[in-house]
Amino acid sequence: MTYRALSASCLFVLLLAACSKSPEPPTASAPAPRPAMVIAAAKPFAGTAATSPSTTLGEGVYVWQRVWLPANLMALADSKAVFTELRVLAAQDQPGEGWVDAKVDLPSLKSDGRAMRPVIRLDGRLASLDTNAIVGKASDLVAKWREAGAMVDGVEIDFDCASARLDEYAKLLAAIKAKLPGDATLSITALPSWIGAPGLAGVLAQADETVLQVHAVTDPKHGLFDPKQASAWIAAFAKADSKPFRIALPAYGSALVVDAEGHRVGVESESALPVAGERLELFADPQAVAGLVHDITLAPPSNLRGFVWFRLPLPGDRRAWPLATLSAVIAGKPLHADWTPDISDGGNGAFDVTVRNSGNLEAVLPASVDVEGAGCTDADALPGYRIEKTQGKPRFVRETGASLPATQTRPIGWVRCTHLMPADLHVHA
């Protein structure tokens, strides 16, 4: 199937769904290899009057699961050196389901000690807003989480409404603000489509801080993130209001599931959908995102306070960047793959062979792995590789374009040798 099979209206719906934050239960399965998507690096950022290049921009992250598992606690602990604040999904209201409160581990958030905000997700498809329920939910969450000992500095509303509903949204925000404690910040997420809308000024007047989401696209060949478009959105939004704002950046991928006629079947992210259809993978390329972050950091708009990343990667989250990739982008480190071959005892004189991506960037699996051990007689490859003999020595040769995320390991087959050490394996990228 080609992109031409998707009508313009269908594409808009698909992309909007792919870029919205839909919580899914994390899976415990190992990340599946996937084809890499290459996106051009970002062009220099053209923003408003800049502060000093030494300005420190905050780094926050969204924690986006309805049900917390032990993996959440591991991810929180691992991320402490990377993120200074947390934005945590706390409740969601959507058509057909109503209110769902996330099962958050408040004692763990208390122990974490970082500044955090509960996030209320209001589905953009809601025909009407129950102001009393939303106001009550916001004030109750702040009170409850603070009482539990979490370092709550405010609450965030995530409502991807149409531009025509911004006036209605502004009234809701005014009602929420009136009921919050005086020291609680009211932050909201904002869509690029709101820029220039008549009702935007009213919404920004009620919010203390805004998080501009730039992980939305107008062309699927750019994945979930178009750096050129994102740069233009950021520059325009910085000029729209002098209040502080942050930028929500993508660190994940999604798949649009479509049938043979190009009709949307669903959007797949953290966990697999039990439906048939072709998966059109959309990724936020780390190198493209890193380029934009670098340019913004050198000359940030005067009212920019930092970045908030979507989302905190959990073990088994197949489509989120590994923390190694995310932390490298934030720190401005070079992004690269680094292949480490290894062996383990397979029994009966056989050795299982694996390759590990020890770098910080997902990459296509090695083209080949030569085995230089002694007395290597038999060998067999797992799907994705085949065995060739070179001067009597086994060689694993890649047959697909599958890739492997950073920090992940993949078995490629086995060999039977009288003597074999990891140093006897030679990787050719």
Q: What is the dihedral of CA 288, 294, 295, 298, to 10 degrees?
A: 180
Q: pLDDT grade, residue 216 (50/70/90)?
A: low
Closest C-alpha to 228, from 281, 204, 192: 192
For residue 415, how many other CB atoms are within 10 A of its CB?
26
Q: pLDDT grade, residue 9 (50/70/90)?
A: very low
416 contacts 350 by C-beta, under 8 angstroms:
yes
Between vectors from CA 237 to CA 182 and to CA 61, what angle results, nearest 5°?
60
The answer on pLDDT for 30 being more than 90 is no
d(CA 19, CA 23): 12
* Biggest CA-to-CA distance, the chain: 78
CATH number of 339-428: 2.60.40
The answer on pLDDT for 39 being more than 70 is no
361 contacts 410 by C-beta, under 8 angstroms:
no
d(CA 190, CA 302): 18
Min mean pLDDT across 15-24, 150-159, 305-314 is at 15-24
Closest C-alpha to 5, from 260, 368, 327, 222: 260
Domain boundaries, the chain: 3-331, 339-428
d(CA 84, CA 87): 11
The answer on pLDDT for 209 being more than 50 is yes
89 contacts 312 by C-beta, under 8 angstroms:
no
Quick one: pLDDT at residue 115?
98
The answer on pLDDT for 63 being more than 50 is yes
pTM score, whole prediction: 0.86
CATH number of 3-331: 3.20.20.80
Q: pLDDT grade, residue 260 (50/70/90)?
A: confident
Of residues 7 and 128, more confidence is placed in 128
Of residues 25 and 105, more confidence is placed in 105
63 contacts 87 by C-beta, under 8 angstroms:
yes
For residue 239, give every residue at least 6 positions away whose Cβ sits within 8 Å of its Cβ, in sequence order, or none: 48
pLDDT over 70, % of the chain: 85
Helix axes 227-240, 286-298, angle to 10 degrees: 40
427 contacts 339 by C-beta, under 8 angstroms:
yes
In eight-state DSSP terms, residue 100 is: E
The answer on pLDDT for 7 being more than 50 is no
d(CA 184, CA 180): 6
Quick one: pLDDT at residue 21?
60
The answer on pLDDT for 358 being more than 60 is yes
At 410 the three-state DSSP class reads strand
pLDDT digits (tens, 9 = 90+) for 171-192: 999 999 999 999 999 999 999 9
The answer on pLDDT for 5 being more than 70 is no
d(CA 78, CA 260): 42
Quick one: pLDDT at residue 156?
99
